[in-house]
Amino acid sequence: MDKEWNLQDINVQSLLDGYDKEKILDIRKLDFIGVEGRDVYNITVPFLSAGREYIAGRVELREDEFNSKVMFFLRKDDTWVLDENAPVFLMQDPFVCIIDDEIIFGGVEIFLENGNKDYRTIFLRGKDIYDLKIFTQGPKGMKDIRLLQLPIGEIGLFTRPQGEIGGRGRIGFMKISSIVRLVRLRHKDYFDVPLLKCNFLDEEWLGVNAAYVLKNGLIGVLGHIACYTMDAQAKPNKNYYPIAFALDEQMNIPIGMKILSARADYPSGKSKFGTLRNVLFAGGITRHDNGTATMYVGAGDAESYAVKMHDPFLEYELGK
């Protein structure tokens, strides 16, 4: 790239100060058929399996956030219809990518340990959604682990440790040689992945939702940044914002991080709880040839939207 990027001081307010809502072209709520009485949110990007176009989504009753199911929906005109023959997984927040011509699918599994709820990321693989089998899992207490096929066959691995390493949530990145190497990772290895170098606020957190190889060799990252704010009743509200940045993997720094959308720009909608109204969780982006892109977003832990916008990764490819 011709442009020299500077290390950012990254926090929600500084990103909101630079947020350009004029880059959003259209926001449309998605309709799902076949799950009457249940919400569908935190969806994947649309993807092909056995020649048909699917979206996977988190499905659950409005009042219940722990008995989640991940289900698959087929596109039918402007709606998404449940594929009743597809597998159903007891997970949350699905994600999908293609590695070595296989579907790599995953989500967050909630489990009990010594009577307490905990969670971990589960990974499945297969030639299509009917062939998916669990092949590995991340350490307990870690969400937002994501994979990316790199041009020379390696795999990019994004992690998100929390606690002593990572605080409320930070992004780690490393390259591994293959899926076989991923399976061989020990759980402690996920916490040894180098964290991105930047200046973050301790009370805010970040994570990766999806990643893409850009034309100039940089990695384009779709993620989220989040914080709490107090409402008029002194209740802590969660605020999640979809973000994009390019990763300079040589320096391990995020380049040009920016917010892509804010809840106030969406139609007035429903949320699981009032304190979750401002949660936006993106599942992926489809890039188009005309300089636009469509981002697929869960909102308020209750709804799903397609957000058409100017392609957020173009500036990283062009160095602007």
Q: What does the block give as tokens for 41? A: 């949110």
**Res 234: pLDDT:** 80
- Please, what are the domains in the chain? 9-318 (2.115.10.20)
How many residues appear in the chain?
320
Which of 110, 84, 100, 89 minimizes the C-alpha distance to 44? 89
**Res 3: pLDDT:** 45
115-158 tens-digit pLDDT: 899 999 999 999 999 999 999 999 999 999 999 999 999 999 99
The whole-angstrom separation of Cα 198 and Cα 253 is 7
The whole-angstrom separation of Cα 225 and Cα 205 is 6
* Secondary structure class of 111 (helix, strand, coil): strand
Instruction: Confirm if 93 and 108 have CB atoms less than 8 A apart.
Output: yes
The whole-angstrom separation of Cα 38 and Cα 19 is 33
pTM of this prediction?
0.95
Query: What distance lies between CA 182 and its chain's CA centroid?
Result: 20
Cα 54-174-202 angle, rounded to 5 deg: 90
Q: Kindly state the percentage of the chain with pLDDT values over 90.
A: 89
**Res 8: pLDDT:** 66
Tokens 């100017």 belong to: 310
> Which pLDDT band holds residue 65 (cuts at 50, 70, 90)?
confident
The gap between the terminal CA atoms of the chain, to the nearest Å, is 9
67-113 tens-digit pLDDT: 999 999 999 999 999 999 999 999 999 999 999 999 999 999 999 98
Sign of the C-alpha dihedral, residues 249, 252, 257, 260?
positive
Q: Kindly state the percentage of the chain with pLDDT values over 70.
A: 97
Q: Given a cut of 60, is residue 4 above it in pLDDT?
A: no
**Res 2: pLDDT:** 41
Instruction: Confirm if 24 and 292 have CB atoms less than 8 A apart.
Output: no
Q: What does the block give as tokens for 102? A: 């296989």
